[in-house]
Amino acid sequence: MNDATPTGPRSTGIAPRSGVSRFAALRREITSPTLSFLMEAHDGLSAKIVEEAGFRGVWASGLTTSAALGLRDSNEASWTQVLDQLEYMADATSLPILVDGDTGHGNFNNVRRFVRKLGERGLAGVCIEDKLFPKTNSFIGEGQALADIEEFCGRIKAGKDSQVDDGFVLVARVEALIAGHGMAEALRRAEAYHRAGADAILIHSKRSTAEEILAFARAWDNRAPLVIVPTMYYATPTSVYREAGISTVIWANHLLRSAIVAMRETASRIAEDESLMRVEGQVASVKEVFRLVGNAELEEAERRYLPARPSVGAVVLAASGGDLGALTADRPKCMVDIRGRPLLGSLVHTLRESGVRDVTVVRGYRKEAVQLEGVRMVDNDRHAETGELWSLACARNALRGETVIAYGDVLFKRHILDGLLTSEADIVLAVDSQGAAPRAGGTTPRDLVAADRRFSGDYLDDAPAHLRRIASDLPAGEVCGEWMGLARFSARGAGWLREEIAAIEAEGLLERADLPLLLTRLAARHPVRVLYFTGHWLDVDTLGDLAEARNLG
């Protein structure tokens, strides 16, 4: 950013400021009479963070881009692999990007192709260094070989002749000081590169003070914009660079270096604790990740471009307390931690991933502990003396249109829910075809299913099966599986559901009735489709189940 007050974050696009292309914007930063700053980024996410911080330009570091790929800064990543990363960065930010082009990835021919490809992708400039391909990072070893001056000038000319926009910036990086060739050689090379067409000169040093950089700046006398990278002489006050007439400062690698420290600390704590409790409050929320990558824009685009479809709602029954010992002393089972968020949060996350965003939760035991952002809460204050159907009746106003109903203590893979949502049936249940056996820990499946057709074992066999009965005491010969506590109702099916709840209420059975009774009664009046799955879900009833839930990815 220049000395002027930086603007706030801008939306993505090709123009960082109204009417100014990214090529022109970078040229303006490089040639500005006031000091400018470029901040390192190595992928699309870090480029977004640079923009949000208020910088006016990005330095696409070769070192950090390579390191983020797990590679050395020795041209181990091909230039096409680098170009892929750069394209993601250009898409992620509206800021101009100056690319660390190493040596140009070869001779003049590689340079001109690389420059053309950069311009076609909206990358605003490139910096090439006067060393040999493949390069070695400047801070490794001593006395690295430099390119022949005339040959390097040819690379510069080839790059300028190949740029797709007149505003494209080519910066020539002089390595003479680092290589130990002295000030005179550095000035000789800089002048040659300037005459060859370089738009700016980057003078590099690995000394701990800025003395030789400042000496070069005095001798150079602003013949062309001067760019510096004060990684080693970081203690020099920025005011010194302004007084020396430096054009641009590159903060070259600090986002990746800070990320390494944070990731190492987080990984160590989780490994040591075998828990997320110490780290969850110290890392960015998942919601923040969604914000950074632009989920809100996608949702808006979906509303604009996808055919309108009535929204799908969900009712989650979570009024019971459950018994997980001390874990449920002050909260219901649905709020027990599962890998850093409550069980209920994991369930709602799966619902939302499948597009079910209008979620109503029926709470009861320790209801004040049941809190979840963006979820409508309905209270069953008689939870201790009533059953599941009473809880569902508390939320009967939410049973409008297409609706998913789920127990609040189940977890399931998304493909199970997606299978229900894509079914054409008016009422459809998720049934585990292998769910009749006792679970680990000795608990017995409760919601055993009898259907008119068993699971054949062939997933290409899509002949429909329909519910006959759900109960805990089915004869072994009738059991076809276990209901997972997950069902979907079409708008018409939701209407049948409301009618059946009203009928049960009129018979005086509402207080103690459960969902198996409700579904069995519905199956006697209407077709209730059974969709068979094999595993990939969990009913959390015991501490053993809780441990298993933390491994259900």
- Gap between the Cα atoms of 507 and 228, Å rounded: 83
- Gap between the Cα atoms of 256 and 503, Å rounded: 63
3-class DSSP assignment, residue 50: helix
Q: How far from 187 is each of 194, 203, 548, 553, CA to CA, in Å?
A: 10, 9, 67, 59
Helix (H) / strand (E) element for 272: namely helix 254-273
Count CA atoms within 13 Å of residue 288 on its CB side: 9
- Gap between the Cα atoms of 382 and 393, Å rounded: 12
CA 325 to chain centre: 36
- Gap between the Cα atoms of 233 and 237, Å rounded: 10
Give 474-503 as a 3 state SS string.
CCHHHCCEEEEEEEEECHHHHHHHHHHHHH
- Gap between the Cα atoms of 257 and 4, Å rounded: 28
Q: Per-residue b/e over 266-287, b at no fewer than 16 CB within 10 Å?
A: eeeebeeeeebeebeeeeeeee
Closest by alpha carbon to 103, among 133, 78, 81?
Answer: 133
- Gap between the Cα atoms of 96 and 104, Å rounded: 19
Output Rg (C-alpha) for the chain, integer angstroms: 32
Q: How far from 238 is each of 2, 17, 215, 228, 230, CA to CA, in Å?
A: 13, 26, 16, 11, 10
Closest by alpha carbon to 494, among 380, 407, 396?
Answer: 396
Catalytic residues: 73
Start-to-end C-alpha separation, the chain:
43
CA 401 to chain centre: 32
Closest by alpha carbon to 360, among 415, 322, 324, 311?
Answer: 311
- What does DSSP say about strands 97-100 and 125-129: parallel, antiparallel, or unpaired? parallel
Cis peptide before 332 (omega within 30 of 0): no
Burial class (CB in 10 A: 0-12, 13-18, 19+), 188: middle
* Signed CA dihedral, 463, 469, 472, 477: sign only: negative
- Which residues partner with 379 through β-bridges? 363
Q: How far from 434 is each of 445, 449, 455, 536, CA to CA, in Å?
A: 11, 11, 9, 11
